[in-house]
Structure 1
């Protein structure tokens, strides 16, 4: 099923999405990778506020290349999501509604997705130049010293993604393995 979703979104929207759905996200999403996740985790440990409001929001695991030709951002392809698995459950428990990346997630992340009525989306790896065309605006929000790993706020219009793990724990990767006998 194809869906258009405005980000941030609520639990009812998350609960309506199913593994395998093609979605087009419009609104505000944030980028963060390994170093930014570590800093956010350290901030939480110290009792500090996060530099962004994650409640109902989506984090895209992406580090952009430099922008050119008057574009707000360069190539913007997904990073392997499992690198953020040690941080994701905590952020989900704090209200993060979705994540965009590529690849499998740990059982702990899947349990946190279910517990918090969240969603894991995949973006197509290797298609960063194409994905960047759905990004209207890019602004560094925190950790500028991290360069491409800084937290950015992206304004997106019809950003394409696929629901891999839905709020019920259905996992597109596992379903495909069973369907095509890939084990």
Structure 2
């Protein structure tokens, strides 16, 4: 099913999403990859503030290429999500409601998704140039020294993604394999 959603995500909206749904995301999201996750994780464990409010927000696992003239951002394809699995449960326990990336997630992340009523979206890998067209504004808000891995605040309009793991723990990567095996 095709759905249009706005960030920050609302609990009712998340509950209505099902693994396999095609979604178009609009609103403010944030980018962060390994190095930024590590810094925020360490700060949170030291009871220090982090540079963004996780409550009901979405983090896109992405490090863009440099912007071409006249564009807010360069290629904006997803990064492999499993590299953030160590950090994601703590972030969700502090209010993060959505993650966008590619690839499988650990059992700990799936458990945290269910526990916190969150959702995991996949963006199409290799389509970074197309995905960048949905980004209307981009600004570095923290960790500028990390270059492409700095935290960015993005304004997106109809960023396409697929619900891979819904708030009930249904996992498209598992159900799709089972459905494929039945067809064979």
SS in 2 for 1:181: helix
- Cα offsets for 1:114-172 (capped at 9, x unmatched): 00000000000000000000000000010000000000000000000000000000000
Q: Equivalences for 1:1-183 in 2 at 5 Å?
A: 1-181=1-181
* 2-structure distance, mates of 1:50, 1:17: 29
* 2-structure distance, mates of 1:150, 1:162: 25
- RMSD, matched Cα: 0.8
- Cα offsets for 1:9-63 (capped at 9, x unmatched): 1111111100000000000000000000000011111111111011000000000
TM-score for the superposition, normalised by structure 1: 0.98
SS in 1 for 2:181: coil
* 1-structure distance, mates of 2:123, 2:23: 10
* 1-structure distance, mates of 2:163, 2:174: 13
Structure 1 segments (4+ residues) deviating >3 Å:
none
SS in 2 for 1:73: coil
Shift of 1:69: 3.0
Is there any run of 5+ residues in structure 1 with no aligned partner, and where? none
SS in 1 for 2:125: coil
Q: How many residues align?
A: 182
SS in 1 for 2:5: strand
